[in-house]
Amino acid sequence: MGQEEMSASFKVIREIMQAEAAAKAEQAAGAGKAYLAENAKREGVTTLASGLQFEALTSGDGAKPTREDQVRVHYHGTLIDGTVFDSSYDRGEPAEFPVSGVIAGWTEALQLMNAGSKWRLHVPSELAYGAQGVGSIAPHSVLVFDVELLDVL
């Protein structure tokens, strides 16, 4: 196989991979919209103007963080099909980070939570990784997180 044929083959493979990625992103976007529409109808689910949805699983009475604060949280993140992509619980150690240093859906929710609270967040892709996706998270994916705000640091 000559250089020209090899280049043509790689081009075809690249085009196939791009088409598959685009189809996966389109499927994720459609599934995410349907999921959020159905989820919004559930009792106990609050939908904010941004599109972020949450359920207060437990209510704490500690401080509410601001954008400038650091927090310590435990969390468990899944895709809408239940596939786990990250979990501090699984690692056995809470995470610490600035409120403004995470995805927009988390930044918004954390500022509404009191320390000691545990919420389930249903994060539209626009407030997560959007058209980029990251790692095993396809572009336009809605993400579900159980977030336990342990402490405002």
User: Which residues are designated catalytic?
Assistant: 75, 85-86, 103, 129, 145
Whether 75 contacts 143, CB under 8 Å: no
Whether 147 contacts 97, CB under 8 Å: no
Closest CA to 150 of 92, 94, 88: 94
Structure tokens at 5: 């044929």
Ordered alpha helix ranges (H), the chain = 3-39, 88-91, 104-110
d(CA 141, CA 31): 8
The sign of the CA dihedral 142, 146, 149, 153 is: negative
